[in-house]
Amino acid sequence: MNTACFTTSQRTSCLTMNPDLFKPCPEHGQVIIPTKPNKTKSEQIKPDLAQVVTDSKTGKSYSKGKLLGKGGFARCYEMTDLSSNKMYAVKVIPQSRVSKPHQRDKITNEIELHKTLHHKHVVKFSHHFEDQDNIYIFLELCSRKSLAHIWKARHTLTDPEVRYYLRQIISGLKYLHNRGILHRDLKLGNFFVNENMELRLGDFGLAAKLETVEQRKKTICGTPNYLAPEVLNRQGHGTESDVWSLGCVMYTLMCGNPPFETLDLKETYKCIKEVKYNLPSTLSPAAQKLISGILQKDPSDRLTLDQILNHQFFTKAFTPDKLPPSSCVTVPELNPPSPAKRFFTKMAKSLFGKRKSKVEKNHCEERESISRLVSGRTTAHDRCFLFQAPPPTVGQQTVTLLVGISTKLHPPLSQACEDGLTPASIAESAMKVLNSCLSAMPAGENPPCLSRPKSFIWVTKWVDYSNKYGFGYQLSNQNIGVLFNEGTHLSLCDQRKTVHYCLTNNKHFTFQASALPEQLCSQKQIVELMANYMEQNLMEGGDLHCEDQPPSQPPLLLQWVKTDHALVMLFNNGTLQVNFYTDHTKIILCKSSDSYLLTYISRERVSYTYLLSMLSEMGCSAELRHRMRYVVQLCSFRESSPILG
């Protein structure tokens, strides 16, 4: 596209997501068809802002901080009130840019409109003043910058994250529309995120009062990639135009680029008018349906904001209550109790809410009937723990480790498995072989990994709901297991057709799902809840797939331990798996015949399997060596704590 035919004001204001199209503003911007000639060089030169600016009316002085962003009209700086140390985001508009009456009116209207807005998801307006050089608009400081910055770092967001942000955007947008205000420039750069990861809708430079269809302004304004067809066709902005932009925002966050982006602005406009875009097959069916429902050519056919919130994309899946700050730069693991709580609580109430009084009346009787049914004969110790009331939340045990099944609160699944393995013996064996490998290992890089390692079972997804039920996990063979708080274990195997149940005394039982004893149905339903949650909301932990194997008794989780940095899982087949939170890397140590295999899953979720003996001889990278040492430290912790004992 030849940009030489554009005026300077067009080049400054017509911004797209393509950085090569208009280089002065690489990400977003506004299109306002100019009626004025080019500005002179003297008008384009902006004087440096003084380090300290003072409001002559109040006498307060403000120290200039870092530049937060810039647009065609203004720049935004971080500023600190020197009398109170309170920090603001300050929009600074040079007086030279508002010398004409209509320019001054535009800024005045923005200020007067923003002053009237008070909503949780709208950037707070504080105050304003001006001096001979600039106009200063003081706004709430959003320290996490904007969704544009998060998008730039992440490229795409997960479905739960998109739901999290869209709910807040829609809340703020409904507030504006109910007050008869159109934003007219919804884009990633105008959604700001504060310290607590809460979203704020901002920049009301193009906002306008909602008019009747006949009175609507026909100006083409907004950001090219987010303009609605009716705006391009000069039919004016309505609330539906903001909804269209919201659909473009959703698409961009989920697909990595705007739906109508091309290298040529005319081609982009043509695609918008024809509603010509692609829906990637990687999107969930619900996401595809929602985007299609929003990006309708006829404004009257578009979903309303309430219809969007009631769409299955929101109602049939999990939305986190809060996102970790790390999600600004990396994919979050949204599986601690707090994000899942609403999902499980709602389902649990529907399943168990009406049975509470019955359970209380016949508690001991029910325990004994289950014990007789599945074991024929159990000890008093077993019956005591079989259907114990939910324990205190894990957060009450806040020493060095957060523990799933500790000897202080509950017994491990099995103190002595049939093959003699216990959590302590597995940890001890892992510590010995890893210590031996590390002590003999020369400096070097990772050796060639095994091209066709023998298939083994590992944990691909997990969810910690131990504050109510227990710890759930999905294995690489698609089996789902839950280690319940009272020490029993239930697994769904063979595509959920078979149920394996294990008591605290290590007695194992197998049932067909269709013929499961009634007394175990409640636990099976909890396992299914966790299975559905993991399927809908969590990504696979790596690319290491399990080859088809003949049905057999699945490996059972004996114990799990959470530290500040990692999750440790110990299985009754001797496998030890450690998942690191920050970068999602994983180490899996398992025994194959007479040798040990160590598998490392990288940040990119790519797996590398080595013979431990080969690492001992040839060495490995510092990254892998560091993680191996951390695993040794975790295993050696048992010597000073009964947690793994």
Q: Is residue 45 assigned to a domain? A: no
Segment among 151-165, 441-455, 473-487 with least mean pLDDT: 441-455
Listed in sequence order, the DSSP H helices in 207-321 are 229-232, 239-255, 265-274, 285-294, 305-309, 312-315
Q: Is residue 346 assigned to a domain? A: no
Determine phi and psi for 374, rounding to 5 degrees. -95, -15
The tally of domains found in the chain comes to 3
Same domain, 110 and 221: no
Determine phi and psi for 292, rounding to 5 degrees. -60, -35
3-class DSSP state of 513 = helix
Instruction: Write the pLDDT tens digit of every residue in 606-629.
Output: 899 999 999 999 999 989 999 999
98 DSSP 8-state letter: G
| Domain end position, chosen among 139, 173, 195 | 139
The CATH number given to whatever domain includes residue 514 is: 3.30.1120.30
In angstroms, how far is CA 3 from the centroid of its own chain?
39
Question: Does residue 343 carry a pLDDT above 70?
Answer: no
Q: Is residue 340 assigned to a domain? A: no
Average pLDDT of span 55-80 = 92
Question: Does residue 133 carry a pLDDT above 60?
Answer: yes
Q: Is residue 104 assigned to a domain? A: yes
**Axis crossing angle, helix 239-255 with helix 159-178, rounded to the nearest 10:** 170
Same domain, 235 and 366: no
Q: Is 85 left (phi over 0), alpha (psi -120 to 50) or beta?
A: left
The CATH number given to whatever domain includes residue 105 is: 3.30.200.20
Alpha-carbon distance 264 to 225, whole Å? 11
3-class DSSP state of 290 = helix
Q: What is the pLDDT of residue 357?
A: 41
| Catalytic residue annotation | 185
Alpha-carbon distance 584 to 591, whole Å? 23
Same domain, 507 and 634: yes
| Domain end position, chosen among 139, 166, 190 | 139
Alpha-carbon distance 546 to 600, whole Å? 16
Q: How would DSSP label each residue in 549-568?
A: ----PPP-EEEEEE-SSEEE
Q: What is the pLDDT of residue 310?
A: 95
Q: What is the pLDDT of residue 583?
A: 84
Alpha-carbon distance 290 to 84, whole Å? 47
Tell me the percentage of the chain whose pLDDT exceeds 90.
49
Q: Is residue 334 assigned to a domain? A: no
Determine phi and psi for 23, rounding to 5 degrees. -65, -30
Same domain, 552 and 635: yes
Same domain, 429 and 573: yes
CA 531, 537, 541, 543 dihedral sign is: positive
HSE-CB at 571 with a 13 A cutoff on CA atoms is 22
Same domain, 160 and 120: no
Same domain, 390 and 291: no
pLDDT band at 506 (very low <50, low <70, confident <90, very high): confident
Q: Which helix (H) or strand (E) holds 423?
A: helix 423-440
Question: Does residue 31 carry a pLDDT above 70?
Answer: no
Average pLDDT of span 472-483 = 93
Question: Does residue 411 carry a pLDDT above 90?
Answer: no
Same domain, 414 and 471: yes
Maximal C-alpha separation, the chain: 94
Question: Does residue 36 carry a pLDDT above 70?
Answer: no
- The average confidence (pLDDT) of the chain is 79
Q: Are 566 and 583 in contact (CB under 8 A)?
A: no
Same domain, 244 and 369: no
For every residue of 339-369, which 3-state class applies, written as one string?
A: HHHHHHHHHHHHHHHHHHHHHHHCHHHHHHH
Q: Is residue 602 assigned to a domain? A: yes
Q: Which helix (H) or strand (E) holds 305?
A: helix 305-309
Average pLDDT of span 359-388 = 39
pLDDT band at 398 (very low <50, low <70, confident <90, very high): very low
Q: Is residue 333 assigned to a domain? A: no
3-class DSSP state of 119 = coil
Q: Which helix (H) or strand (E) holds 126?
A: strand 125-130
HSE-CB at 465 with a 13 A cutoff on CA atoms is 25
574 DSSP 8-state letter: S
Residues of the domain holding 280: 147-328
Question: Does residue 276 carry a pLDDT above 90?
Answer: yes
Same domain, 178 and 116: no
Alpha-carbon distance 543 to 609, whole Å? 12
Structure tokens that stand for 491 in this block: 């697994």
| Domain end position, chosen among 139, 159, 181 | 139
Alpha-carbon distance 274 to 277, whole Å? 9
Q: Is 619 left (phi over 0), alpha (psi -120 to 50) or beta?
A: left
pLDDT band at 186 (very low <50, low <70, confident <90, very high): very high
Q: What is the pLDDT of residue 564?
A: 80
Q: Is residue 616 assigned to a domain? A: yes
Amino acid at 589: L
**Residue 285: CB atoms within 10 Å:** 10
Q: How far apart are the first and last CA of the chain?
A: 69
Q: Are 64 and 49 in contact (CB under 8 A)?
A: yes
pLDDT band at 403 (very low <50, low <70, confident <90, very high): very low
Q: Are 371 and 431 in contact (CB under 8 A)?
A: no
Does 364 or 524 have the greater pLDDT score? 524
| Cα–Cα distances in angstroms (integers) from residue 315 to residues 163, 318, 528, 537, in the given order | 10, 8, 19, 13
Structure tokens that stand for 251 in this block: 């698409």
- Pairing mode, strands 61-70 and 586-592: unpaired
Same domain, 80 and 222: no
Give the residue numbers of the binding site for ATP.
Answer: 91
Specify the pTM: 0.50
Same domain, 162 and 102: no
Q: Of the candidates 472, 485, 455, which has an alpha carbon nearest to the alpha carbon of residue 569?
A: 472
Q: How would DSSP label each residue in 142-185?
A: -TT-BHHHHHHHHSS--HHHHHHHHHHHHHHHHHHHHTTEE---
The CATH number given to whatever domain includes residue 201 is: 1.10.510.10
Alpha-carbon distance 388 to 604, whole Å? 41
Structure tokens that stand for 218 in this block: 């026909």
Question: Does residue 360 carry a pLDDT above 80?
Answer: no
Alpha-carbon distance 238 to 109, whole Å? 19
Q: How open is the CA angle 412-416-418, to the nearest 5 degrees?
A: 125
Q: What is the pLDDT of residue 3?
A: 43
Question: Does residue 402 carry a pLDDT above 90?
Answer: no
Q: What is the pLDDT of residue 504?
A: 73
Alpha-carbon distance 91 to 431, whole Å? 58
